[in-house]
Amino acid sequence: MGVKYVIVEPDPPGWWARNKATAIVVLAVAAVLYLHGRENGPAADPQPRPTPTPGVSRSATP
């Protein structure tokens, strides 16, 4: 009687299957840091200067 079934070990998971969660977390942290750094730049939404309040102007001559 011959061999009916050959049982073999499955291939080990590839790099992406083993490190998918770590890669996604690292890329997300890098994206957040990049976007946060761009937000705090010197030209990001400059604050307007306060305008002087209007006052009563009187002439010096009577």
C-alpha to C-alpha distance for 37 and 41, rounded to whole angstroms? 7
Q: Domain residues of the chain, as ranges?
A: 16-40
Residue 28 tokens, joined: 């997300």
Distance of CA 51 to the CA centre of its chain: 36
Query: pLDDT for 3-33, tens place per residue?
Result: 788 788 888 999 999 999 999 999 999 999 9
Average pLDDT of the chain, as a whole number? 82
Band of the pLDDT at 51, cuts 50, 70, 90? confident
Q: What are the residues whose beta carbons fall under 8 Å from the beta carbon of 23, sequence distance 6 or more?
A: 16
